[in-house]
Structure 1
Amino acid sequence: MGRKKRFPLEILGIILALLWLSPFYLMIVNSFKTKKEIFSDTLRLPETFNLENYRTAFEQLDFMKTFFNSILITVISVAVIIFFSSMAAYALSRAKGKVSTVLFFVFVAAMLVPFQSVMIPLISIFGQAEMLNRAGLIFMYLGFGSSLSIFLYHGTLNSIPKSLDEAAIIDGANKFQVFWYIIFPMLKPITVTVAILNTIWIWNDYLLPSLVVNQEGMQTIPLKMFFFFGEYTKQWHLALAGLTIAILPVIIFYFFAQRQIIKGVSEGAVK
């Protein structure tokens, strides 16, 4: 395609990029303004960059404790998802047969089930089991995150020859040793992708934590941000500063990891 033919597509791409970035521009620019400046002109740059908004939002969000809660839940949940999903995908990819094929398609079909359809019975069951806490939340994340993770791992495992397993077993290794010391290190690219995708999802999730761990002192960043935004609805300068603080960690994480996301997803889907 020549330069002239690409030019309209490039212009369209720039316009779409500006439209996509416009909410971030409004959020960041207005987070430095006073309330009066926001209502007088939303689009204009602030006269002075007011960092007091961020200091107040940081204190009101109790950011360090809330940040620790999000880190704790996210790290443990992602580690559990990787551990169990990789082993499940390994078992399904090596045990060729009707049962393993059906189980794999059940996991794939589970990705299409909306959370809202199982929300009420799930919370009811976990409430009766007295698991509406962090452990219960992590267990739920394992259930909801396994389907996509198994799908990605399964695609990569199909490209790894079974002869590696057989050679290791002949050398005296058991099934778990074959997986953990030989197969799992070869899954590093897709493991990074699974970790990134689940980290972004769990870090930004509001609905599930709001149903499970909404006790004071155990709230995650999205949950705390919801209450903070509700409290400061009319004080947009504080609300937008708090929102910027809340999304900053995951944006930084995504920019450092975006290459691995694209690489891992393409490998897992194509192989």
Structure 2
Amino acid sequence: MTTPLWRRAVLSIAMLALAAVVAVPLYYVLANTLKTQGEMVATPLGLPTSPVFSNYAEVLSDPRIYRSFANTLYVTVASVLLQLAVGALAAYAMVVRTSRFNRILASVLLIGFVVPGQSTLIPLYRTLVGFRLVDDLNGLVLLYLGGSIFCYFLVQGYIRTLPYELIEAARLDGAGDVQIFGRIVLPLIKPILVTVGIFQTMWVWNDFLLPTVIISSPEKRTIVLQVYNAVTEFTTNWPVFMTVSVVALVPMVVFFVFTQRHIASGLLAGSVKG
């Protein structure tokens, strides 16, 4: 059945309006990175009359930017890899080894998943104090390991759609759990692992709350903290602040553009049994 023309017109107008709502703030930031402070105050929404690139030169000549990028890259890569490893192994164990203990543990994990992370900040901070991991990037990685619960739930649902006959056949051939997971299950769950990895990468890279609580040393700041720090250091130079924001966003925008097709494909791949 063909959709009436008026409905398509209304839908197009609504989508354009929503796109404008998203695009206007982005345009505001990008346009003002090419202005001087005076021009930004005079015409905040206008196009730059004579684009200046000194803001980008000032930001990119600051070694703190590159150090914060390196810190963020380390925390993101280490955190996401650990989350995927722990989440995938836990999901496989819970699906294959069904027992009363595993069912109780699954309920506990569900409770942990729905509890707001902000409510656990104080006990988590005190725990890191005990392990001397406050103001330490490794302590930040340890906190992000809690994201394994999200990985566990998505991967578990995906594993349940796999043909269980493959695992049974491997067991009959004498394969152990490690071999079954590494040679059979892991290749089959790669789509959902990629999808979960994309979600978790964007979360860890853009997270502000945990680095703010844990990190205090300037040399250990993540890129988001560096953006926040620009507000205090450049309170009278908003174009520079917006330039720092753009520089911090570029890696994630590029990452999302090249990986967005994996999000839908990974989630849909496990929606059909077999």
Same fold (TM over 0.5): yes
Equivalent residue runs for 1:142-221 within 5 Å = 142-143=145-146, 145-221=147-223
- Equivalent residues in 2 for 1:246-265 (5 A)? 246-265=248-267
Could you tell me which residue of structure 2 aligns to residue 59 of structure 1?
Answer: 61
Question: Do structure 1's residue 244 and structure 2's residue 246 form an aligned pair?
Answer: yes
The alpha-carbon distance between structure 1 residues 265 and 233, as it changes in their structure 2 partners (threshold 3 A), is farther
The letter of the residue matching 2:140 is: L
Write the distance in 2 (CA, Å) between the matches of 1:254 and 1:100.
36
Structure-to-structure mapping, 1:65-80, within 5 angstroms = 65-80=67-82
CA-CA distance at 1:270 after TM superposition: 7.2
State the partner residue of 1:139: 142
Residues 81-126 of structure 1, C-alpha deviations (whole Å, 9 max, x = no match): 1111000001111123443333324323323211210111110121
Aligned amino acid, residue 103 of structure 2: T
Task: State the match for 2:96 in structure 1.
Answer: 94
- Which shifted more, 125-134 or 148-157? 125-134
> Unaligned stretches of 5+ in structure 2?
none
Is the counterpart of residue 24 in structure 1 residue 26 in structure 2? yes
Query: Could you tell me how far apart the structure 1 residues matched to 2:50 and 2:267 are?
Result: 43
SS of 1:111's partner is: helix
Matched AA of 2:31: V
What is the TM-score with the length of structure 1 in the denominator? Answer: 0.94
> 2:271, 2:227 → 1: CA distance?
35
Q: Which residue of 2 aligns with 1:40?
A: 42
- In the superposition, relative to structure 1, how do residues 230 and 122 fare at CA in structure 2: closer, same or farther (>3 Å)? same
- Equivalent residues, number: 270
TM-score, scaled to structure 2: 0.93
Q: How much has 1:134 moved relative to structure 2?
A: 1.7
Rounded to whole Å, the distance in 1 between the matches of 2:166 and 2:248 is 45
User: Is the contact between residue 161 and residue 270 of structure 2 (CA under 8 Å) also seen in structure 1?
Assistant: no
CA contact (8 A) 2:64 2:219 kept: no
- Does the CA-based 8 Å contact 2:32-2:44 persist in structure 1? yes
Structure 2 Cα separation of the partners of residues 37 and 216 of structure 1:
32
Q: 1:205-248: CA deviations, max 9, x gaps?
A: 11111222331211110011111122112211111111100111
Q: Work out whether residues 152 and 268 of structure 1, in 8 Å CA contact, stay in contact via their aligned partners in 2.
A: no
Higher mean C-alpha displacement, 112-121 vs 256-265: 256-265
Amino acid at match of 1:153: V
Amino acid at match of 1:217: E
Q: Which amino acid aligns with 1:5?
A: R
Q: Tell me which amino acid in the other structure corresponds to 2:145.
A: L
Match of 1:123 in 2: 125
What percentage of aligned pairs have identical amino acids?
33
Give the Cα separation in 1 of the matches to 2:192 and 2:31: 37
- Distance in 2, matches of 1:194 and 1:32, equals 36
Distance 2:271 2:225 in 1: 33
CA distance in 1, matches of 2:114, 2:267: 18
* CA RMSD, Structure 1 to Structure 2 (Å): 1.7
Structure 2 Cα separation of the partners of residues 163 and 269 of structure 1: 18
Report the more deviating stretch, 95-104 or 221-230: 95-104
> Which has the larger displacement, 97-106 or 27-36?
97-106
Structure 1: gaps of 5 or more residues: none
Three-state SS of the structure 2 residue aligned to 1:264 is: helix
- 1:43-83 CA-to-partner distances (Å, cap 9, x unmatched) read 11101221110111223462221111111110011110111
